[in-house]
Amino acid sequence: MEFTQKQSPVQGLRQEQIMTHHQIQALEMLSTPVLELESMINEELEKNPVLDAETEEPVTPSTRDDDEDWLEGVMKLDEDSRYIRSQSYYVSPEEEDRRRHYLESLEAKKTLHENLIEQLRFLELQPAVYNCCEVVISGLDDEGYLSSHPADLAMVAGEALEAVSEAIEIIKRLEPAGVGAKNLQERLLIQLEARGRQESTAYRAVKNFLKEIANNQLPAVSRKMGISITELNEVLDEIKSLNPRLECDDVMPNDYIKEEVEVIEDNGEFVVRVINDYLPSLHISRHYKQLLSDPKTSKEVRTYVKEKIRTGVHFINSIIQRQTTIYKTVNAVVQEQQDFFTYGVKHLKPLTMSRIADIVGVHETTISRAVAGKYLRCKHGLFALRQFFSTGYTVRDGSTVSNTVVKNAISRLVENENAYAPFSDSEIAAKLKLRGLDVARRTVAKYRESLGILPSNLRRKYQAVSQ
């Protein structure tokens, strides 16, 4: 029996939706927090010469994108209404002065690597040594650990291994103390050395028993070191004062969080305000309008300018769409979370993104993008928008509460527990049940881990046993 293979063409119909560059840009802009959005706008201002930023009277651009008449209409706007910008609110001169002073007072964040290079410039080093130090710095990871092998660094630097080893020791003497260490243990030892504590009990504990200390095996460490639990606790206090993550304000200042929305209570009603003060006013430059009006302008230049204008207006429309979507999303959240905005966190209700999507009339993924990395300020404080979305639990009285309420209850139980006999996950679950919250032990463990709370065996403290 003989088998043969044949190929035959098969025709079929298939529907595909291909997103345009402008649609992709709008989605990216929606999911971008305002601090990154400012950078995105500045980049677009540099790339697109027809865009300019200035505070003038706003005009809302059309959403039509393929109409030549629309494009010509944009170019024929009156002198007083040629500006296109996102919606704005009145800002008093005093508020504007405070904002300008705030922005001018912010220093650009320096990376750890930039900070170390700057310190090198103040040292009197030979060119070859300086070059080795630069190579060593390039071998540090984001947390300041030396992740590259000295032999590899010597090969990159084109120097002897001894020269690179000397450079590593120089880097270890820079600030913040502990930079250039191979691991956490060496980092802590370097910091103790910087304090002149090489002969201390803390130095001996870090050098010989750090793993046992991390596992909270304090009685065993106490016996091996020949000291009491009380003395060991004093040693641990000194170790805790060290800086394992190099959180130095001069090197890695805290990220600034800017709220994008305010919810204000006015005569018993909650008003949502999207903050546009951080965003520059955008408009089409007058120069390019005049260029298109000039009959001497070549066809190629006209085509180029028109395309840049079209791109610019799409960009501005994307900003307006972003702000509008955020406003509608928060407005729907406020409707659903009235008790929270009235009474506080304990009254946060379970809420899903699909519910808000139904109210706003968009897809659930749009809501996810709209709340990503965004913050809201109200009378109860500053909150990430994602905090308003959570699953829920039914309380004994039949009402439902958000899992945020459950997490807060776990945190309070741990805060108030006996440190020498901390609650196990099962005990926490039992205590929650007494409060009407029927939460499984595994769920307690999951929430505890998400809160960064250690298990009971690692939270337990030890006290000296009287002789």
pLDDT, tens digit, 9 for 90 and up, residues 203-239: 999 999 999 998 999 999 999 999 999 899 899 999 9
Q: Which domains occur in the chain, in start order?
A: 21-88+280-315 (no CATH), 112-240 (no CATH), 392-459 (1.10.10.60)
What single-letter amino acid sits at 226?
G
pLDDT for position 78: 38
pLDDT for position 317: 86
Nearest to 376 by CA among 276, 270, 273: 273
pLDDT for position 289: 73
Q: Which residues pair with residue 146 across a beta bridge?
A: 140
**C-alpha torsion angle, residues 137, 143, 148, 150 (rounded to 10):** 60
pLDDT, tens digit, 9 for 90 and up, residues 130-155: 999 999 998 898 889 998 888 889 88
The reply to whether the predicted model has a pTM over 0.85 is: no
Nearest to 449 by CA among 398, 417, 414, 397: 414
229, HSE (Cβ side, Cα atoms, 13 Å)? 14
pLDDT for position 31: 86
Give the SS3 label for residue 376.
strand
> What contacts 63, CB < 8 A, 6 or more positions away?
317
Q: Residue 172 is encoded by which pair of tokens?
A: 């270890």
The DSSP annotation for 195-213 comes to TT-TTSHHHHHHHHHHHHH
For residue 215, how many other CB atoms are within 10 A of its CB? Answer: 12
**Dihedral angle sign, alpha carbons of residues 200, 203, 209, 210:** positive
In order along the chain (467 residues), what is the average pLDDT of each group of 10 residues? 51 54 80 85 87 56 46 47 41 53 50 86 86 90 88 88 91 90 93 91 93 91 91 90 70 60 89 85 78 82 86 86 93 92 84 90 91 90 87 64 81 89 91 84 88 88 66
Contact 165, 201 (CB under 8 A): no
Contact 194, 428 (CB under 8 A): no
Contact 376, 337 (CB under 8 A): no
Give the SS3 label for residue 375.
strand
